[in-house]
Amino acid sequence: MQAAHFPSGFLTSLHQAPGFQQDTFTQTHVNGQSPTSIRINPFKAIPVPDVQPVPWCANGYYLNNRPSFTFDPLFHAGCYYVQEASSMFIDYILKHIRNDEDALKILDLCAAPGGKSTLISSVMQEDDLLVANEIIKTRVPILTDNLNRWGRANVVVTNNDPKTFSALKSFFDIIVVDAPCSGSGMFRKDPAAMEEWSEANVTLCQQRQERILADVYPALQEGGYFIYSTCSYSYEEDEAVLDWLCEEFDVETVRIPVPAEWGIVESQSARHQAWSYRFYPDQVKGEGLFAACLRKKESSGYLSNYKPKTQKPDYKEIDKLKSYVENPDQLHFFKLNEDWLVIPKVHKDSLNTLQQYLYIKKSGIRLGKMAGKDLIPDHELALSLLVNKNMFLQTELTYEQAIVYLRKENLNNLSAESKGWSLMMYVGQVLGWAKLLPNRMNNYYPKEIRILSTQSAKGGTLTDSAE
């Protein structure tokens, strides 16, 4: 790609962008390759490859080459997430502003496909709650799948317009808004994005970003934090939006200490000197990102104490369910149609509140259905950190067998000494369920997320990428 292929007016528009260096920026887009990076799930321990760490994220790593993640069973087990390195800076911000004494309610407003949500989940403590919202209905399934793989129970997935959250007055302690933008920060990784860029689109994105922030603002409590980010270099979508926030609302800027050797450009907005952080691909090992943190100084009022009527729990069934999960006494069991779900007890009231206002797609962990005395387990339970593995058979698969299983095909050569529900494992990590019968195996891997590719699976693991 040559510099002339940038959209008309793009480079000129960046002359006011803090830290922009046109010559090296252009050269990086001509010759540079986008680095591949992953973030390890700290709750599903796997050996960390001997590769370069991402300096601003404790669990982030750059890979030496890009494997076919589709053919790595550890990816499907939720042991890591493939995420652009610059985006992992949210981890650094969260750890800086976190007060470990208080439980937090965190909203990831524009959450799909789940990179920042799984990152937030990694940082959260047991008593914290994450609400991961996606505005576009068709993108909710991939968000849900990625959070299911991550395995934590203190997560709710919703599908709502930002305006809906205005009714949840002062509910959240932190709101992360990775706002829809003109996408110029992804030009190197996705050159096709250039076709969508225009100065008019930048203006439209700025207006949309301001509307989203205004809509969700009442849901942030006094003293709470906004983390605002885009993958755009445009000043209008970045520092100008911070100035708008400072003028429209009673917020204060939060400066995040950043080591100079990281190459991140520290910036301040023109009118209110709000601190922010810019990532340029010629100055950091990553793609374009803008991020900032603001603290709310005013109150938006409070929610009413209305408590909805709830059905009387079926304690007999709940007693049967308790053996299937770890630490059952810390969990709230509830039923949705025929399915049983659990969420930490500490979040029971919060879930009841959210159900009054939001369209919820996922609440905690779905355990499955009871059939007499036995549980027909759900895939969510298999991948969760709650599953009591001692209650089920465990079948360790070879790499080749794991790929066959993930394609939802039959493992005809599988020798099973026992029969019943089995957790299908690869190097000690759970992939999903199968039911072992005397002469066959029923594969219960969800067809919606099975491997569809018919390519060869050779060389598809995380270990291969580090060699």
39 contacts: CB under 8 Å, gap ≥ 6: 54, 57, 59, 60, 61, 80, 81, 83, 88, 118, 119, 122
Q: Annotated binding residue at 116?
A: yes
Q: Annotated binding residue at 45?
A: no
Report the alpha-carbon distance of residue 181 to residue 291 in Å, rounded. Answer: 13
Q: Which of 57, 181, 231, 293 is catalytic?
A: 231
Residue 402 vs residues 236, 385, 397, 405, 409: alpha-carbon distances, Å: 48, 20, 6, 5, 10
Q: Annotated binding residue at 112?
A: yes
Q: E strands of 96-141, at which residues? A: 105-108, 129-133
Extract the residue ranges of the chain whose pLDDT is less than 70.
1-4, 305-311, 456-467
Q: E strands of 159-216, at which residues? A: 172-178
- Residue 346 in tokens: 């500490």
Q: Name the residue among 243, 178, 272 with its Cα closest to residue 216.
A: 178
Strand partners, 433: 423
| Residues in the chain, total | 467
Ramachandran region of residue 454, left (φ > 0), alpha (ψ -120 to 50) or beta?
alpha
Specify the pTM.
0.95
Report the alpha-carbon distance of residue 279 to residue 454 in Å, rounded. Answer: 38
Report the alpha-carbon distance of residue 2 to residue 187 in Å, rounded. Answer: 12
**Fold entry, domain 392-448:** 2.30.130
Q: E strands of 115-200, at which residues? A: 129-133, 155-158, 172-178
Q: What is the pLDDT of residue 464?
A: 57
Q: Name the residue among 405, 387, 388 with its Cα closest to residue 396.
A: 405
Q: Annotated binding residue at 250?
A: no
Q: Annotated binding residue at 115?
A: yes
Q: Annotated binding residue at 7?
A: no
Gyration radius from the chain CA atoms:
23
Q: How many CB atoms lie within 10 A of CB 244?
A: 19
Contact indicator for 435, 442 with CB cutoff of 8 Å: yes
| Strands 360-363 and 339-344, sheet pairing | unpaired
Q: Annotated binding residue at 161?
A: yes
Q: What is the pLDDT of residue 303?
A: 81
The answer to whether the peptide bond before residue 113 is cis (omega within 30 degrees of 0) is yes
Within the chain, all domains assigned CATH 2.30.130.10 are found at 392-448
Phi, psi of 93 (to 5 degrees): -65, -45
Would you list the DSSP string of 361-408?
Answer: EEESEEEEEEETTEEEE-HHHHHSS-B-GGGSEEEE--HHHHHHHHTT
Within the chain, all domains assigned CATH 3.40.50.150 are found at 3-296
DSSP state of 190: -
**Fold entry, domain 3-296:** Rossmann fold (3.40.50)
Report the alpha-carbon distance of residue 431 to residue 395 in Å, rounded. Answer: 10
- 127-360-44-333 Cα dihedral, nearest 10 degrees: 60
Q: What is the pLDDT of residue 340?
A: 97
> CB-hemisphere CA count at 13 Å for 181?
24
DSSP state of 49: P
Ramachandran region of residue 112, left (φ > 0), alpha (ψ -120 to 50) or beta?
beta
Catalytic, 57? Answer no
Contact indicator for 289, 278 with CB cutoff of 8 Å: yes
Residue listed under structure tokens 């499907």: 76
Contact indicator for 319, 370 with CB cutoff of 8 Å: no
